[in-house]
Amino acid sequence: MNSQGSDDARLFLSGKRVAFVGKLGAFSRKEANQLVRDHGADAVDRDMNDVDWIVIGADELPGEDVSPLLSDAVRRRLRDGSTQLIHEHELWQRLQLVEQSSKQLYTPAMMAGLLKTPVRNIRRWHRMGLLSASKVTHRLPYFDFEQVQNARQLASWIGKGARPADIVKQLANFSPWVEKRSLIDLDLVVDGRRLLLRQGGRLLGANGQLHLDFDIDDSVAVSDDSLPIVLAAQPAYLGESHEIANDQPPTDIENWKRDDLLRMAEELEDAGQLDQSIEWYRVILSRYGLHAEVCFQLAELLYRTGDVSAARERYYNAIELDEDFIEARVNLGCVLAELGNLELAIAAFQGALVKDDRYPDVHYHLAKCLDEVSNVDLAGRHWLRFLQLSPQSPWADEAIERLGR
């Protein structure tokens, strides 16, 4: 924050008497009180007669009636205008302290729900470097809305025939003309497994070849440093891909490294050859020993092939290897619920919340299980918490309906 911004923030709060009510989202109550003091204000009790601002914590549901948090005297002062009511995120934004305090972030499952694509795709694109997470907590990435749009673009390209590994490789080949921005700014045409950039009625290949639009001609090449190509993130998933031919294992597998084996497993998955992909993940575990992420990926594939009990055991493996692997805990809970073990599923979700109480997907799945066992009051608290954390989720309507019941 520049000095001018700091001075403006201090003038904004100078001499004000500020009281916080409800649960804060960005800071603890002690930290919040110290921050307003640092900006020239007094942190006071909400029932004081001369309080200027009442700040509602960000973890109170937007639009919810906050009057139970306020005394009759405070409500009278709000009505006559001598006290003002603002929300926590507005205060931090005006102080230029937490620019993203009110920014909606999306988990892989939430993003998958918005895009109508399997959640495994979101995880894969993130691992490949095609999506950039705003933060990662206990292995769980959170994405902003720009990344939702990028994922939508990726889904469109893949739906037209492009493969994720090819996209990574070809975008990397565009690097001489690349600036770091958003995938949605790229006007790309999918030609089989190739990506071509549309520019001024012409198409540019990743290798610098220039084509007439809709008239592919590999005989003309051009290099133009002025082409405005932009990307969201530099792909981290680089290197040569091993082509899948006639489902036959390559003869030089003994020389492959772990990353080569992982690429083969993922390419088989992309090709819909799930049983073969499962065997490659097992080869990795046999050669390199148990690994939480590989166990998690294997569990996902086992579940997709209908082997739910085996998937459950691999999720258990992942958690045993990394107790902070929160997404494995959540998926384990979902599998246990599907197998009818609701009490164990509830325990798995509650264990996930111990690691991260702000993970909205957990509250959603836990609330559903609690409804199933008729613990309606506790379920209601988790439906409400889910809405507080993710009011724009694709599951929000379901949560509102459940609360209405």
* Whether the predicted pLDDT of 317 surpasses 80: yes
Which of 253, 281, 254 has its CA nearest to residue 268? 281
Of 242 and 209, which is predicted with more confidence?
Answer: 209
Pairwise CA distance, residues 242 & 335, whole Å: 33
> How many CB atoms lie under 10 A from the CB of residue 249?
12
Give 95-103 contacts, CB < 8 A, sequence gap 24+.
Answer: 95/9, 95/12, 95/13, 95/35, 95/39, 96/1, 96/5, 96/6, 96/8, 96/9, 97/1, 97/9, 97/26, 97/35, 98/26, 100/134, 100/144, 101/25, 101/26, 101/58, 102/58, 103/134, 103/144
CATH of 3-94 given 3.40.50.2000, 3.40.50.10190, 3.40.1110.10, 3.20.190.10: 3.40.50.10190
Taking residues 42-62, what's their average pLDDT?
73
* Amino acid at site 397: D
Mean pLDDT score, 117-128 = 87
Backbone angles phi, psi at 140, to 5 degrees: -95, 120
- Residue 289's pLDDT is 93
pLDDT of residue 321: 94
Q: How confident is the model at residue 368 (pLDDT cuts 50, 70, 90)?
A: very high
pLDDT mean over 380-400: 85
Whether residue 2 has pLDDT greater than 70: no
Q: Token match 């009636």: residue? A: 65
Is residue 348 very low, low, confident or very high in pLDDT (cuts 50, 70, 90)? Answer: very high
How far is the CA of 165 from the CAs of 73, 168, 188, 237, 262, in angstroms?
Answer: 63, 5, 16, 8, 12
Overall average pLDDT of the 284-299 stretch:
93
Q: Which CATH architecture has domain 108-231?
A: Orthogonal Bundle (1.10)
Burial class (CB in 10 A: 0-12, 13-18, 19+), 253: middle
User: Averaged over 327-343, what is the pLDDT?
Assistant: 94
Q: Provide the pLDDT for residue 231.
A: 33
Q: CA angle 384-148-401, nearest 5°?
A: 25
Which residues have a Cβ under 8 Å from the Cβ of 88 and sit 6 or more positions away?
20, 24, 25, 26, 32, 55, 56, 57, 58, 101
d(CA 240, CA 168): 11
Q: Where residue 70 falls among pLDDT bands split at 50, 70, 90?
A: confident
CA distances from 50 to 72, 90, 172, 247, 357 (A): 14, 21, 61, 77, 35
* Residue 349 clears pLDDT 50, i.e. is over it: yes
Q: Is the pLDDT of residue 385 over 80?
A: yes
Q: What is the pLDDT of residues 136-150, one digit of tens each?
A: 887 888 888 888 888
306 by Cβ neighbours in 10 Å (0-12 / 13-18 / 19+) ranks as exposed
Average pLDDT over residues 75-89: 76
Give the pLDDT confidence of 293-309 residue by residue, as tens digits. Answer: 999 999 999 999 999 99
pLDDT at 38 over 60: yes
Confidence of residue 312 (pLDDT cuts 50, 70, 90): very high
pLDDT value at position 240?
A: 41
pLDDT at site 282: 94
Q: From CA 371, how far away is CA 300, in angstroms rounded?
A: 26
The mean predicted confidence, pLDDT, of the chain is: 76
Q: Please, are residues 304 and 274 in contact by the beta-carbon 8 Å criterion? A: yes
Average pLDDT over residues 276-299: 93
Is the pLDDT score of 3 beyond 50?
no
CA pair distance 394, 297, nearest whole angstrom:
25
Domain ranges of the chain: 3-94, 108-231, 357-405
With contact defined as beta carbons under 8 Å apart, do 44 and 17 qualify?
A: yes
pLDDT at 278: 95
Non-local CB neighbours of 386 within 8 Å, separated by 6+ positions:
360, 363, 364, 367, 393, 395, 399
Greater pLDDT, 288 or 138: 288
| Residues in Cβ contact with 234 at an 8 Å cutoff, skipping those fewer than 6 apart | 129, 172, 175, 178, 180
% of the chain at pLDDT higher than 70 = 70
- Rounded to an integer, the average pLDDT of 94-101 is 56
pLDDT > 90: percent of the chain: 25
User: Would you place residue 291 in the very low, low, confident or very high pLDDT band (cuts 50, 70, 90)?
Assistant: very high
**Region 9-31 average pLDDT:** 77
At 341, the pLDDT band (50, 70, 90 cuts) reads very high
pLDDT band at 196 (very low <50, low <70, confident <90, very high): low
Instruction: Tell how far CA 146 is from the center of its chain.
Output: 11
With cut-offs at 50, 70 and 90, classify the pLDDT of residue 209: low
Closest CA to 24 of 78, 75, 87: 87
Give the pLDDT score at 251.
56
At residue 105 the predicted structure's pLDDT band, cuts being 50, 70 and 90, is confident
62-76, 121-135, 309-323, 377-391: range with highest mean pLDDT: 309-323
Question: Is 150:232 a contact under the CB 8 Å cutoff?
Answer: yes
**pLDDT confidence of residue 198:** 60
Residue 281 is encoded by which pair of tokens? 């993940």
